[in-house]
Copies of this chain bind each other. A is one copy, B any other.
Amino acid sequence: MSELDRIDRHILNILQQDSSISNVVLADQVGLSPPACLRRVNRLREAGIIYAEVALLDPKKVGYQLNVIVEVELERDRPDLYDQFKRKVLAAEEVTQCYQVTGEVDFILVVVVPDMQAYEAFIQRVLYTEANMRKFRSLISLNRPKFETAIML
């Protein structure tokens, strides 16, 4: 795995906040010529360190007002069924994030939907049909005071 020097980290910190800046501006900010800077950025992309560049939308402005954090407990004696559940979660568009956790709870899901009706539909389609489900708990959120994708290096 490639080591990241000070300039690479500087580039990553900037692009994590704003990837729409031109390479010439980026190069200037990190103190390199544009070609030298571009080579580094391309190297970081090829290494998969930068795995995507995306536009972030304001959920409320596109009618997605509701976040639900779901704690899921599966039957413990069937670890092979974990993969089945994972596949279902990956296929469900409403689930934006899934964390496999240790302890009483097995998975945490972050579900983003327009309203309660859409959430009920999700429960019916994905959770109630899961044979392996022991129980789940839904934590409803209308407010997301913080949402950062950046890891500052």
Interface residues of A (CB under 8 A from B): 1, 4, 12, 15-20, 47-59, 61-62, 64, 67, 69, 71, 86, 89-90, 93, 95-103, 105, 108, 112, 139-153
Contact = CB atoms under 8 A, between A and B. Distances in A.
A115 to B, nearest CB: 14
Contact of A16 (B57, B58, B61, B103): B57
Given A95-B146, A144-B98, A50 B54 contact: no
A143 B57 contact: no
Given A19-B19, A62-B153, A143 B55 contact: no
A12 B56 CA distance: 9
Contacts of A12: 55, 57, 62
Contacts of A150: 54, 57, 96
Nearest to A85: B145
Contacts of A1: 61
A23 B30 CA distance: 25
A1 B69 CA distance: 28
A55, A96, A147 pick with most chain B CB within 10 angstroms: A55
A12 B143 CA distance: 23
